[in-house]
Chains A and B, each alone.
Chain A
């Protein structure tokens, strides 16, 4: 079975600072994908970034980047230059073949002005 663990239920960061959200997963699969989704107060689920497990290079999308450590089964999200609009719940997700998704319990991030 696949499990995704987000050990930080809540975090806060000062505006313009950098914050890292942690995620670990457990799987015996060799080929899979990892995602971070953002859920602002509007409740809409928004894709932030994705990482293919077979790629060694860490994915980057503007201010968002990941630190993917395959051997350690770790997939952390770094948000640089935090903005008020980054305030949201962030979910780490694992996907294996067959489009089977497994989500973590989420980290609630608050950006403080």
Chain B
């Protein structure tokens, strides 16, 4: 396994701009998760996919956020009209369910700073 990769690693943008992050999961992992982590906090769930289907969205995911996972491979997370409160680390994780057991493996994250 090459691990979960995320790009870019860092992003600085001005308030009101749109940004898009990409996550490439471990190959053959059918589940993909997005989390957001703010300073001094643990990661908080945003949304997840099983294959290409987006199965759950957190209330944290406002209508300015959208995520896709075309063909069940990589995923993108887009934030429109960014706000300073969107500044955070965005983490992606992938997993493969084996029976009732699932272990999530995280990527290095994308750190977003909105000026």
Q: A and B, one complex?
A: no
